[in-house]
Amino acid sequence: MRPEKNSDVSTCASLGDDYNHHGGNGVLRLIIPANDRSVRRGLQTIKSSMSNLSLSQDDWSTVELVIAEVLNNIVKHAYSASDTGLIEAHLNYSKETLDCTIIDTGHSMPNGEIPKGAQIDLTCDIADLPEGGFGWLLIHQLTRELNYARRANQNTLSFRLPFATEH
């Protein structure tokens, strides 16, 4: 049995210092254990490393939400909340866009494809309202160039987030 570990021991963040001094561009490679608390801390690391972009609140909230949804899905579904896997995130950002690639070695997506995340009908009785299924809906609405590949027991999800706001 693995001891319950909530410390940041397996988190490795390497900032691309060579890039960081040129117009706010940067790269970040982050490896976190697949559990909810590490996802929360990983998002904090991403926020700090992207702070030099001075993103608007609106742009940052989209980055945080999309990455949170992708990571939560991996914790919950790819690794079935077993708390034994790792998640690797590569971020490449400029003042205009964030390109993000997220890799895990958990289960494949259902049917080997990205769930559609269609809008759910909410004109129903309160008792029948869905309590889940919003994650992919949000990811599809907010990302561009969303791609998924399954190779050699590894899931790779990539997407782009354009920053709308001038800053």
Partner 1 sequence: MKLNHKDFDNARLVTICENRIDAVCAIQFKDEMRKLTDAGPRRVVLDMSQVEFLDSSGLGAVVAALKAKKAEQTLELASLQPAVQKVFHLTRMDTVFAIHDNATSAMAGVADAS
100 Cβ neighbours under 8 A, 6+ residues apart: 66, 67, 89, 90, 91, 92, 158, 159, 160, 161
Amino acid at 36: D
- Determine which residue in the list 51, 82, 141, 154 makes contact with partner 1, applying CB under 8 A: 141
| Helix 36-49 / helix 57-73 crossing angle, nearest 10 deg | 150
Rounded distance between C-alpha atoms, residue 107 and residue 130, angstroms:
24
Check: CB of residue 103 under 8 Å from CB of residue 156.
yes
Residue 134 CB, nearest approach to partner 1 (Å): 4
Question: Which of these ranges, 11-19, 23-31, 114-122, 144-152, lies near partner 1 under the rule CB under 8 A?
Answer: 114-122
Shortest separation between residue 24's beta carbon and partner 1, angstroms? 22
Q: Which of 28, 30, 32, 39 binds partner 1 (CB under 8 A)?
A: 39
Binding site for partner 1 (CB under 8 A): 36-37, 39-40, 57-58, 61-62, 64-65, 68-69, 72, 75-76, 119-120, 122, 126-127, 129-132, 134-135, 137-138, 141-142
